[in-house]
């Protein structure tokens, strides 16, 4: 039966009015609605601010194109009539396309494909997200994902609308400034990983606006259009200020949307969507969920954004905050506020137990629990989290006094402030130029700095009000001189005469910035960035420091950050052991610096850290507890979280201790291990605690004074050659012609695989007839098994008997020359721009290829990757070793078998394990640590060495006999061979002999 458009319209109308979508009175679904523009046109279906155009079949591109033009006319007419955002849906009942209006017509923002009646629930969910119909939706993580997440049509529509608004606003000087400052802060947070991407700025704006609207909703405001709040008040926190709650929502980087036509309407529509949720009993982690849903996982991973799970934050707070009523607590990298939430709740619970009244409790709270972060989005989320922790009832108490939410946007590290100069610095500078907070060389001395006398920072609240008053005066339209204009403000705030000149100069700068449209944000920016300095003053330091510091790797820092990192880490003894900065991350310097700046003597610290801090050699200086000058920590027993669900991209730990100037105590070599049956990190402690067990573990700690690897084989092995890109080098033989190719020549073509990456997967396939001597056998990780080498691959390599041919010598061989000219051309076209090498230089990176020419008759080869090494002997002197393998020349077959037996041994793996860094899947980099154990040089006079030679020969025979014809994956093939060696008992015998050959080292 062929269904007509009228049938489809009737079915859609029935779907809309069945009650499942819970349409409110303003969203009545109607059929065949006149457009009201004087024409006879009718809308197929109208519901709320959406028109649904129905066609019988949209598979024909021409019919769909005509339908889109028709729908665009409807949407444009309704937008003019209603004066608000209006969207269109085009459907044939199977495919559903959501559009918004742009200047050139319609732009599709989302679609849905359904195939049967079973998809009805998916369609209802999709339509509900578009229409925002349901009321009192409980804001669970599932609901947030479904209705607001990055795959929902609501998000796609909001992002597209906001992106269009930004296109209009980008050229406004103040909007441009806000994005520049946003970029400056995030470059400090994420280093080179951060890209000043417009889509990210738009997503961050959407996140912050959503969080700010939620902040109003959770304290009881009606944020819908039916309420009394304007879009501007929602984005700038006017109602909070009017209720004497300061710092909860402020004019910030993301209220730029108010500066562009259509922006206030967007904010109100977003607020209407938020109003559909019931925010009375929201869980605080909903903001983390919202962030993770809107910012794609790939983007978060590239920036290293992983928030602390709720259960862990609660346990850390419980352990560190032992006297909530009397301890002042700071999280200097507070993120979305998880630690703050539990610190606030701990304080309020203690107040209840002590009989402290609500007004006094809330006033005391904001003097005891603080947060700082350099990420502007995180700060907004943390402020809302802080409000959630206090709760609506406490905030609504008529006796509550004025409060300021103490979560600040700032540089906790104070990259550009020297601790040893604090007592002599009379001024604090905020740079208004430069791409990052951290400038190379450590200076921020620009002619247009905002400079504030240190004396005016002593009273933080007074300083905030002073800066706000100065900002207001900047906007004044007056012909008076700046000094006359600002003088009343300076008198009002009792500014010392010696400081008046400095503040007048700063006011001059602010007025100059205002004259070029760059003023509005500076008061907010200065007030926040100076707060870390205020907290570092002796009278303001805290009793407890806790949190999860940034784990930014040195390689990801900007050049300016790298220079300052090396300088600051060196001064604090964190670069011990002769190892450079490249093997470290920011977390240890951050903790040392936070203790130095913000923690009182005898104060407590507890931080979630990378697991390597407990044992790895680069962190020995940190573990010492001596961090330069009189900064010293007495470490308590850490927590080992390697078997706990955290959701982090690497294993972690918790370090604890007390700040004891001049009396350090090294971190203990034992820890409390946490293990859970659940692998889900997204749990509260009340849910998680039943699945946890704890037990003591000994740590294998590598100190800076430990001797380097003791095995002589360390110097004999080296990594193979970087033979890449493979599409230009690796080949397979082509069939021979009936008359052949002539003596010494072979026809080949590039070996192409599905695993090739961009851009090489798109290059043309090379084909050529080449001199046979230049088609060399190559062994890679995929041709390497325990005690067995598989058939090698082949590659075109310009190798002579004495080494690599230079470009001039290559020309002497027509076949090779033709191939190499074409390969070089493709290399130059597709390599990264920063790489200046030729292809010849590329394949001999660090001399790893030329070192193999000429090759020894007897070599041992072992694998680079995997948790266990696979090793075998190689007696082909013409074979080349790829960089996925290590190789060494040996004296003969006996030594080769001896070394291969040791490298394949489970005993060896166990002995190496203490030297390995821990990853999510166990020990990492076994290939780099294999010779950290004392493997002795082969000695034919040693009976145990000869036993290994004999056992290795048996293992080779067994490995060679294993049928691998049905095994296509080399990793599986390695396991099949290992299983056979275990079944035969040879592995067990080898392990027993290796245990006698290699002594156990005490670490």
Can you give the length of the chain in residues?
A: 1003
pLDDT of amino acid 519: 55
74 and 66 Cβ atoms separated by less than 8 Å = no
pTM for the structure as a whole: 0.74
What CATH code is carried by the domain that includes residue 120? Answer: 3.90.1570.30
- Asked if the structure places residue 470 within a domain, the reply is yes
Tokens (6 digits) for 487: 């003088």
Question: 304 vs 88, which has greater pLDDT?
Answer: 88
Q: Is the pLDDT of residue 921 over 80?
A: no
pLDDT of amino acid 48: 79
pLDDT of amino acid 156: 87
- Give yes or no: residues 504 and 573 share one domain: no
Strand segments (E) across 8-94: 29-34, 42-47, 50-54, 87-91
Residue 41 — very low, low, confident or very high, per pLDDT cuts 50/70/90?
Answer: confident
What CATH code is carried by the domain that includes residue 615? Answer: 3.40.50.150
- Asked if the structure places residue 817 within a domain, the reply is yes
Ranking 220-234, 693-707, 779-793 by mean pLDDT, the lowest is: 693-707
Nearest to 775 by CA among 738, 830, 734: 734
Ranking 355-359, 443-447, 843-847, 894-898 by mean pLDDT, the lowest is: 443-447
pLDDT tens digits for range 25-39: 666 788 888 877 667
pLDDT of amino acid 441: 36
pLDDT of amino acid 520: 57
Q: Is the pLDDT of residue 443 over 50?
A: no
- Give yes or no: residues 63 and 96 share one domain: yes
pLDDT tens digits for range 619-673: 999 999 999 888 999 999 999 998 999 988 888 999 999 999 988 999 999 999 9
232 and 264 Cβ atoms separated by less than 8 Å = yes
Tokens (6 digits) for 115: 């195939």
HSE value, Cβ hemisphere, 13 Å, CA-based, for 412:
35
Which single residue is written with the structure tokens 């709320």?
A: 48
pLDDT of amino acid 132: 67
Residue range of the domain that includes 253? 161-327+377-409
Residue 17 — very low, low, confident or very high, per pLDDT cuts 50/70/90?
Answer: confident
- Asked if the structure places residue 366 within a domain, the reply is no
- Asked if the structure places residue 345 within a domain, the reply is no
- Give yes or no: residues 535 and 598 share one domain: no
556 and 192 Cβ atoms separated by less than 8 Å = yes
- Give yes or no: residues 532 and 634 share one domain: no
* Strand bridging mode 633-635 / 599-610: unpaired
SS3 44: strand
- Asked if the structure places residue 367 within a domain, the reply is no
Q: Is the pLDDT of residue 435 over 70?
A: no
- Give yes or no: residues 685 and 747 share one domain: no
User: What SS3 string covers 186-208?
Assistant: HHHHHHHHCCCCHHHHHHHHHHH
Q: Is the pLDDT of residue 118 over 70?
A: no
Q: What angle do CA 701, 704, 706 make, to 5 degrees?
A: 75
Percent of the chain scoring above 70 in pLDDT: 90
- Asked if the structure places residue 372 within a domain, the reply is no
Residues 6+ apart with CB under 8 A from 129: 146, 147, 152, 153, 154
Q: How far apart are alpha carbons 839 and 826 in whole angstroms?
A: 10
Residues 6+ apart with CB under 8 A from 966: none
pLDDT tens digits for range 791-839: 999 999 999 988 899 888 999 999 999 999 999 999 999 998 888 899 9
pLDDT tens digits for range 523-580: 777 777 778 888 888 788 999 999 999 988 888 888 888 888 999 999 999 987 555 5
Q: Is the pLDDT of residue 245 over 80?
A: yes
**Residues 303-314: what's their mean pLDDT?**
84
- Give yes or no: residues 628 and 672 share one domain: yes
Helix axes 587-598, 522-536, angle to 10 degrees: 80
Q: How far apart are alpha carbons 216 and 211 in whole angstroms?
A: 9
**What are the helix (H) ranges across 913-985?**
926-929, 943-961, 970-984
Q: How far apart are alpha carbons 717 and 54 in whole angstroms?
A: 71
**What are the helix (H) ranges across 83-197?**
120-131, 141-148, 153-169, 173-190
Tokens (6 digits) for 861: 């080869």
- Give yes or no: residues 815 and 962 share one domain: yes
pLDDT tens digits for range 944-999: 999 999 999 999 999 999 999 999 889 999 999 999 999 999 999 999 999 999 87
Tokens (6 digits) for 842: 């590329």
- Give yes or no: residues 730 and 692 share one domain: no
**Residues 242-262: what's their mean pLDDT?**
89
- Give yes or no: residues 965 and 898 share one domain: yes
Q: Is the pLDDT of residue 52 over 80?
A: yes
- Give yes or no: residues 883 and 906 share one domain: yes
Ranking 244-248, 909-913, 998-1002 by mean pLDDT, the lowest is: 998-1002
- Give yes or no: residues 245 and 121 share one domain: no
The distance from CA 502 to its chain's CA centroid, rounded to whole angstroms, is 41
Q: Is the pLDDT of residue 752 over 60?
A: yes
- Helices and strands counted in the chain (H then E): 37, 34
520, 540, 560 - which closes a domain: 540
116, 134, 152 - which closes a domain: 134
Long-range (24+ apart) CB contacts under 8 A made by 64-70 are 64/90, 68/99, 68/105, 68/106, 69/105
Burial of 994 (0-12, 13-18, 19+ CB in 10 A): buried
- Asked if the structure places residue 823 within a domain, the reply is yes
Ranking 146-160, 237-251, 379-393, 437-451 by mean pLDDT, the lowest is: 437-451
Residues 6+ apart with CB under 8 A from 322: 604
- Asked if the structure places residue 894 within a domain, the reply is yes
Residues 6+ apart with CB under 8 A from 707: none
667, 698, 729 - which closes a domain: 698
How does the average pLDDT of the chain come out, rounded?
A: 86
Residues 6+ apart with CB under 8 A from 787: 871, 872, 900, 904, 952, 955, 956, 958, 959, 977, 981
Question: How many domains does the chain fold into?
Answer: 5
Q: Is the pLDDT of residue 134 over 70?
A: no
- Give yes or no: residues 398 and 464 share one domain: no
């Amino acid at each position: 039966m062929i269904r007509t458009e009228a049938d489809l319209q009737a079915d859609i109308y029935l779907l809309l009015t069945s009650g499942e979508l819970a349409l409110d009175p303003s969203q009545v679904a109607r059929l065949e609605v006149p457009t009201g523009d004087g024409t006879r046109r009718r809308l197929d279906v109208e519901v709320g601010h959406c028109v649904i155009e129905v066609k019988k079949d949209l598979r024909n591109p021409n019919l769909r194109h005509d339908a889109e033009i028709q729908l665009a006319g409807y949407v444009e007419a309704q937008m003019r009539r209603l004066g608000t955002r209006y969207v269109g849906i085009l459907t044939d009942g199977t495919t559903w396309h959501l559009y918004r209006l742009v200047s050139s017509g319609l732009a599709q923002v989302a679609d849905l494909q359904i195939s049967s009646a079973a998809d009805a629930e998916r369609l209802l969910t999709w339509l509900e997200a578009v229409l925002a119909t349901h009321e009192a939706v409980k804001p669970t993580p599932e609901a947030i994902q479904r209705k607001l997440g990055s795959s929902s049509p609501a998000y796609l529509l909001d992002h597209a609308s906001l992106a269009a608004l930004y296109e209009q606003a980008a050229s406004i000087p103040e909007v441009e400034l806000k994005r520049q400052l946003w970029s400056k802060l995030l470059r400090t947070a994420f280093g080179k990983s951060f890209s000043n991407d417009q889509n990210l700025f738009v997503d961050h704006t959407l996140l912050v606006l959503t969080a700010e609207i939620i902040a109003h909703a959770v304290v009881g405001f009606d944020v819908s259009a039916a309420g009394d709040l304007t879009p501007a008040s929602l984005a700038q926190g006017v109602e909070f200020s009017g209720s004497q709650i300061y710092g909860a929502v402020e004019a910030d980087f993301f209220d730029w949307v108010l500066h562009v036509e259509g922006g206030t309407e967007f904010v109100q529509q977003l607020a209407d969507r938020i109003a559909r949720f019931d925010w009375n009993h929201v869980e605080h982690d909903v903001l983390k969920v919202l962030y993770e849903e809107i910012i794609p996982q790939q983007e978060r991973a590239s920036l290293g954004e992983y928030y602390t799970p709720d259960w862990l934050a609660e346990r850390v707070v419980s352990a560190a905050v032992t006297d909530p009523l009397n301890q002042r607590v700071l999280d200097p990298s507070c993120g979305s506020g998880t630690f703050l939430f539990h610190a606030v709740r701990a304080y309020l619970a203690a107040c209840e137990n002590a009989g402290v009244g609500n007004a006094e409790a809330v006033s005391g709270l904001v003097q005891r629990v603080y947060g700082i972060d350099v990420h502007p989005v995180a700060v907004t989320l943390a402020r809302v989290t802080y409000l959630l922790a206090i709760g609506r009832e406490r905030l609504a108490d008529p006796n509550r006094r004025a409060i300021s939410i103490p979560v600040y946007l700032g540089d906790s590290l104070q990259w550009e402030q020297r601790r040893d100069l604090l007592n002599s610095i009379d001024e604090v500078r905020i740079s208004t130029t430069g791409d990052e907070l951290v400038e190379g060389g450590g200076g921020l001395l620009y002619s247009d700095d905002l400079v504030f006398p240190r004396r005016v920072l002593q009273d933080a609240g007074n300083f905030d009000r002073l800066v706000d008053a100065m900002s207001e005066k900047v906007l004044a339209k007056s012909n008076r001189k700046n000094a006359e204009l600002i003088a009343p403000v300076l008198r009002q705030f009792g500014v010392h005469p010696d400081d008046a000149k400095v503040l007048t100069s700063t006011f001059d700068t602010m007025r100059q910035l205002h004259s070029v449209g760059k003023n509005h944000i500076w008061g907010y920016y200065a007030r926040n960035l100076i707060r870390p300095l205020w907290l570092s003053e002796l009278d303001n330091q805290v009793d407890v420091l806790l949190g999860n510091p940034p784990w930014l790797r040195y390689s990801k820092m900007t050049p300016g950050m790298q220079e300052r990192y090396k300088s600051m880490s060196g001064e604090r003894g964190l670069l011990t052991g002769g190892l450079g900065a490249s093997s470290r991350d920011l977390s240890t310097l951050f903790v040392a610096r936070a203790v130095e700046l913000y923690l009182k003597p005898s104060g407590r610290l507890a931080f979630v850290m990378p697991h390597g801090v407990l044992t790895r050699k680069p962190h020995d200086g940190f573990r010492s507890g001596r961090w330069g000058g009189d900064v010293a920590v007495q470490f308590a027993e850490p927590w080992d979280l390697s078997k706990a669900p955290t959701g982090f991209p690497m294993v972690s730990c918790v370090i604890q201790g007390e700040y004891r100037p001049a009396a350090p105590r090294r971190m203990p070599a034992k820890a409390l291990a946490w293990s859970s049956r659940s692998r889900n990190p997204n749990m509260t402690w009340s849910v998680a605690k039943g699945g946890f067990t704890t037990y003591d573990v000994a740590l294998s700690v590598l100190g800076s004074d430990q001797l380097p690897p003791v095995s002589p084989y360390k110097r004999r092995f080296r990594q193979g050659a970087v033979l890449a890109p493979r599409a230009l080098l690796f080949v397979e033989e082509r069939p021979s012609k009936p008359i052949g190719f002539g003596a010494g020549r072979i026809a080949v073509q590039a070996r192409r695989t599905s695993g090739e990456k961009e851009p090489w997967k798109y290059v043309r396939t090379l084909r050529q007839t080449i001199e046979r001597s230049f088609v060399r056998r190559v062994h890679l990780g995929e041709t390497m098994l325990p005690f067995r080498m598989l058939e090698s691959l082949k590659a075109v390599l310009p190798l002579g008997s004495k080494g690599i041919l230079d470009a001039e010598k290559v020309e002497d061989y027509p076949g090779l020359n033709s191939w190499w000219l074409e390969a070089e051309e493709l290399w130059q076209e597709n390599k990264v721009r920063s790489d200046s090498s030729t292809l010849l230089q590329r394949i001999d990176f660090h001399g790893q290829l030329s070192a193999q020419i000429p090759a020894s008759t007897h070599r041992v080869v072992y694998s680079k990757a995997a948790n266990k090494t696979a090793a075998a002997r190689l007696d082909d002197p013409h074979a080349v070793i790829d960089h996925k393998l290590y190789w060494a020349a040996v004296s003969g077959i006996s030594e080769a078998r001896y070394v291969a037996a040791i490298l394949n041994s489970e005993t060896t793996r166990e002995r190496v394990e203490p030297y390995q860094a821990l990853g999510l899947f166990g020990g990492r980099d076994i290939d780099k640590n294999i010779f950290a154990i004392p493997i002795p040089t082969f000695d034919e006079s040693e009976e145990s060495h000869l036993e290994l030679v004999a056992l290795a020969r048996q293992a080779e025979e067994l490995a060679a006999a294993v049928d691998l014809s049905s095994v296509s994956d080399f990793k599986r093939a390695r396991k099949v061979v290992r299983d056979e060696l275990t079944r035969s008992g040879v592995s067990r015998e080898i392990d027993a002999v290796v245990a006698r050959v290699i002594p156990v080292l005490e670490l």
